[in-house]
């Protein structure tokens, strides 16, 4: 299995697990919390079938990657991503982020620019700025995140079970667009993640990505469900085009947070159509 070493903690390396499959234009897929690169199952097969080179990886602390005690902030996570694309010598690659992974896309482009990036995609993503503030009234109260942190500390496995029910809107879509087995698989992956990393990521969700988004000058696609209970459309995806000039917003009707699975056909159709474009956007300040 391929790994890249992105740092050290005491006597051990911090290694990220990744998969690099296919040929053609590279697409880097960045997963959400608390899952792993395996969550892209339905997208990987579609992208490979369309002739793309597909790279997935597990964020530090999650999936098959190392579980260090530190580094769960977006500056470090974007640096991890930069080390991966540098090792693989990627050029004209697309960055696709789901949920928390959208933050890596935004911070990577804000910190490292778009020189070798052809396109950006945000799916059910966390930008532009989740925390309610005087200049961000559309955000979410800090107390909500403090409650999440307390619930994780109290009983992480139980919290994850409830979180995933809302992740997939199981009460409405269960037995139709999502099976009990897929929810269980997601729980298994999330429960196997670093307890500290799982907790520390919550504070990273409050990162302000507005300046990062304003630096994006490549074609950008935003896909978000209008029934997302985890990252409500009005606070996230609907606002991203305000900061990324010329970006396209696709709203998935009835889509929960976990549209990668429940609405994979719609997501894949939009993703493949978008990745077929080649023009770059105009530079914005």
pLDDT at residue 276, as a whole number: 80
pLDDT level of residue 284 (50, 70, 90 thresholds)? very low
Q: What is the pLDDT of residues 118-129, one digit of tens each?
A: 999 999 999 999
Annotated catalytic residue 200: no
**Catalytic-role residue among 99, 124, 125, 204:** 99
CA-CA distance, 68 to 84, in Å (whole number)? 17
Domain boundaries defined on the chain? 3-275
Residue range 36-62, pLDDT digits in tens: 999 999 999 999 999 999 999 999 999
Q: Is residue 208 annotated as a catalytic residue, yes or no?
A: no
Catalytic residue among 15, 58, 200, 228: 228
pLDDT grade for 105, boundaries at 50, 70 and 90? very high
Are 264 and 123 within 8 A, CB to CB? no
Distance of alpha carbon 33 from alpha carbon 19, whole angstroms: 18
- 257 has catalytic annotation: yes
Written as six digits, the tokens of 19 are 């998969």
So what's the pLDDT on residue 279? 42
CA–CA dist 184, 283 (Å, integer): 44
Architecture of the domain whose range is 3-275: 3-Layer(aba) Sandwich (3.40)
């Amino acid at each position: 299995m391929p790994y890249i070493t992105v740092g050290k903690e005491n006597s051990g390396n911090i290694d990220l697990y990744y998969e690099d499959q296919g040929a053609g234009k590279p697409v880097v897929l960045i997963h959400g919390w608390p899952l792993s690169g395996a969550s892209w199952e339905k997208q990987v097969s579609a992208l490979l079938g369309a002739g793309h080179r597909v790279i997935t990886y597990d964020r530090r602390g999650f999936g098959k990657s190392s579980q260090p005690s530190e580094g769960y902030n977006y500056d470090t996570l974007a640096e991890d991503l930069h080390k991966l694309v540098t090792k693989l010598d990627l050029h004209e690659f697309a960055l696709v982020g789901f949920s928390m992974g959208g933050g890596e896309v935004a911070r990577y482009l804000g910190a490292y620019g778009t020189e070798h990036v052809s396109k950006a995609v945000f799916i059910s993503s966390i930008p532009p700025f989740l925390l309610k503030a005087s200049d961000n009234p559309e955000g979410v109260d800090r107390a909500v995140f403090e409650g999440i942190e307390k619930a994780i500390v109290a009983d992480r496995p139980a919290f994850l079970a409830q979180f995933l029910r809302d992740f997939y809107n199981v009460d409405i879509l269960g037995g139709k667009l999502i099976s009990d087995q897929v929810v269980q698989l997601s729980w298994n992956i999330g429960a196997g993640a670093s307890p500290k990393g799982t907790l520390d990521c919550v504070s990273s969700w409050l990162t302000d990505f507005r300046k990062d988004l304003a630096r994006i000058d490549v074609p950008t696609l935003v896909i978000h469900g209008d029934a997302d209970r985890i990252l409500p459309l009005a606070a996230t995806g609907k606002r991203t085009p305000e900061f990324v000039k010329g970006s396209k917003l696709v709203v998935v009707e009835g889509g929960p947070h976990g549209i990668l699975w429940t609405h994979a056909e719609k997501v894949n159709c939009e993703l493949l159509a978008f990745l077929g474009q080649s023009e770059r956007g105009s530079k914005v300040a």
